[in-house]
Amino acid sequence: MTLKERLENVKRIFPKADSALIAALHEVQDEYGWIHPDGVKLIEEVLGYSETQVHSVASFYHFFHLEPTPKHKLAICTNLTCMQKGAYELLKFAKENADPKKVFVEETECIGLCDHAPAALLNGTPLKNLTVELLKDLLENPEKYDEGHRETYEDMAETYGKD
């Protein structure tokens, strides 16, 4: 499915709600790895948001990248439960071993997976009970683990898609 088709799908799911912009930004970032100007133009064309509106929302949320960044973004939780289960060692390992052209590694606050700590998100795909072995494979083959955000916002459309 092309980016334009995916943005049309976002429009169908969120016909009126402002939530469409967040979902659209995720689609653009999934496509390019960051909020590429061509993606911003497509958001304008398909959803009718101005470039200024797109940039004001994209710059507010830290998980949207306004500069070129690899497609795969690994956010490792380092809050209490994950920290107690070795999250900082995993974060250090990931930062030292990630190919910066392939995987962007960052630290994040609790992602609600404390009962499966240590946990992380790869572009919104939950990763539970992280180990160094799993991380090694993920850093080499991120596409194998990355399911993107699509199901996440499709699940939420029922709640947030209505004005």
| Least gap, CB of 107 to ligand FES (angstroms) | 11
Torsion region of 53: left, alpha or beta (phi above 0 gives left; psi -120 to 50 gives alpha): alpha
| Least gap, CB of 109 to ligand FES (angstroms) | 8
| Least gap, CB of 90 to ligand FES (angstroms) | 11
C-alpha count within 13 angstroms, C-beta hemisphere, residue 72: 22
Q: Which residues bind ligand FES (CB under 6 A)?
A: 77, 79-82, 110-114, 117, 119
- Give the residue with the Cβ less far from ligand FES, 23 or 113: 113
Query: What count of other Cβ atoms lies within 10 Å of the Cβ of residue 67?
Result: 6
72-77 and 120-122 as β-strands: parallel, antiparallel, unpaired? antiparallel
- Give the residue with the Cβ less far from ligand FES, 35 or 90: 90
- Give the residue with the Cβ less far from ligand FES, 17 or 83: 83
Structure tokens at 76: 């490792």
